[in-house]
Amino acid sequence: MTQHLTGLAVSLLLFASTPAALAGTTIIHAGELLAVPGKAVKSEQTIVIKDDRIVEVRKGYSDPGEFEGAITVIDLKDQFVLPGLMDMHVHLQGQLGPRNDSETLKMSSQQVEMRSVMFGMRTLLAGFTTVRDAGSSSQEMYALRDGINKGWGDGPRIIAAGGVGITGGHADISGVSPELMEMFTSENICDGPYDCRRATRNVIKYGADWIKITSTGGVLTDRATGTGQQMEADELREVVLAAKRMGKKVASHAHEEDGIIAALKAGVASIEHGSYTGPEAIKLFKETGAYLVPTLLAGETTVKMAKNSDFMSPAIKEKAIKTGAAMKDNFYKSYIAGVKIAYGTDSGVSKHGTNAREAVLMVKAGMPEMDVIKSATVNAADLLDMSSSIGTIEAGKYADIIAVNNSPLDNIEELLDVGFVMKGGKVYKNQRLRHP
């Protein structure tokens, strides 16, 4: 009995701390609704939600009396409503800054995990209901993902990639003493095709949803090893094949075109950054159907930091300034040539919760607002093979819904101030309730 009561008390406590858990049916009156990005906006619509799913979208404002049982009505009549945004490239465990080195020495993995809960919430409250984490300390990330899915805590829906990289490459540890390097070297660092096959199987074994590789060097590797191709074609092929055999897709970080081409030829599903994408890579993107995840925000952030702060080494600064400039130009060339674009920020380089700034940069680079929103919803869901459950506001999908004051199709900066966030039918933010 005592045990029973304790259990009840705990569940009541959990319920009380859960933001606006809605039982039964919820209806949202949406003033303007972009249910399917890429298609027309509709005025005065009702979204019907049961538990965590959308049941139907009706014309006009339905009366609560039309439904049976307890009904919660959410009034977004003066709002622009759209599907929850999705960021295909975040690193929820860190944030670039001058104290990163000492944090690595001082923080326990448990503290890193607790902080990632905060970064996850910042992301969710900014309107990003789904993210693909592109590489973090693996068990801590999988625990965060699973904990959120089980309802033990709140945060965005996480698709977690496990990293596979080569010795001395961008995914490997750099910039610390040899003793620390040895201590921090992941068992998923591999050399040669068979070793990389092993590493790929290993990250899948321990819980990765995706595989993240680095076919070229990277800006933030503290070594003057460039941003060109680093993984060999045979290593890339083995990773993609081993992943495919177990039903997983591969994302490759790549800056220079040789590494983009090599990764696309091996069959990766997405290229991250793609800074020096040229005509040959564009042709391959279109042939393979792979997505480009541009991360313009990472380019902008690292260029600013390289110019205005002194915590980066000369090797990093030089790479940052060069790749940041190339990224913007080549992103637009790729888009206009018909390369599929999925939204990604590399948040963790930039600050968590500022993910919508990528949209502003994409529009500045020349991409129309509707296509930007599509890249962060419909396209991202397609890249994740999750189009049947997320990406639009349609019957059968998770109720991942956000709202802004005015149409982001007229002014993309509206996305910087998301006032309403629902994920899986649960309201996490409703600014209009706080200021009635």
- Closest residue to Zn ion, judged by C-beta, is 346
Please state the closest distance from residue 383 (CB atom) to Zn ion, in A. Answer: 15
Min. distance of Cβ 423 from Zn ion in angstroms?
Answer: 23
One-letter amino acid at 276 equals: Y
Closer CB to Zn ion, residue 225 or residue 387? 225
Query: Residue 64, Cα to own-chain centre: how many angstroms?
Result: 36
| Burial group, residue 308, by CB count within 10 angstroms (0-12, 13-18, 19+) | exposed
Is the distance from CB of 29 to CB of 79 less than 8 angstroms?
Answer: no
Stretch that binds Zn ion, among 128-136, 277-285, 322-330, 367-375 (CB under 5 A): 128-136
Q: Which two tokens stand for residue 421?
A: 């966030």
Q: Please identify, among the stretches 131-139, 146-154, 255-263, 362-370, the one whose residues bind Zn ion according to the rule CB under 5 A.
A: 131-139
Q: Which stretch binds Zn ion (CB under 5 A): 14-22, 78-86, 145-153, 339-347?
A: 339-347
Q: Of 140 and 413, which has the nearer Cβ to Zn ion? A: 140
Strand partners, 96: none
134 binds Zn ion (CB under 5 A): yes
Compute how many residues bind Zn ion; rule: CB under 5 A.
Answer: 2
Q: Are 236 and 263 in contact (CB under 8 A)?
A: yes
Cα–Cα dist 359/166, whole Å: 32
Near Zn ion in 269-328, by CB under 5 A? none
Pick 238 or 346: Cβ nearer Zn ion = 346
Q: How far is the CB of 89 from Zn ion (least distance, A)?
A: 6
Minimum Å distance from CB 48 to Zn ion? 38
Is the Cβ of residue 300 or residue 346 nearer to Zn ion in the bound state?
Answer: 346
| Distance of closest approach, residue 265 Cβ to Zn ion, in angstroms | 22
Alpha-carbon torsion (85, 90, 93, 94), positive or negative: negative
* 180/188 Cα distance (integer angstroms): 17
Across 84-225, the runs of DSSP E, i.e. the strands, are: 85-90, 128-133, 157-163, 165-166, 189-190, 210-214
Closest CA to 320 of 350, 360, 344: 350
Closest approach, Cβ 165 to Zn ion, in A, equals 12
Neighbouring residues of 195: CB distance < 8 A, sequence distance ≥ 6 = none
Among positions 256, 346, 358, 414, the unique one binding Zn ion when judged by CB under 5 A: 346
Which residues of this protein are in contact with Zn ion, per CB under 5 A? 134, 346
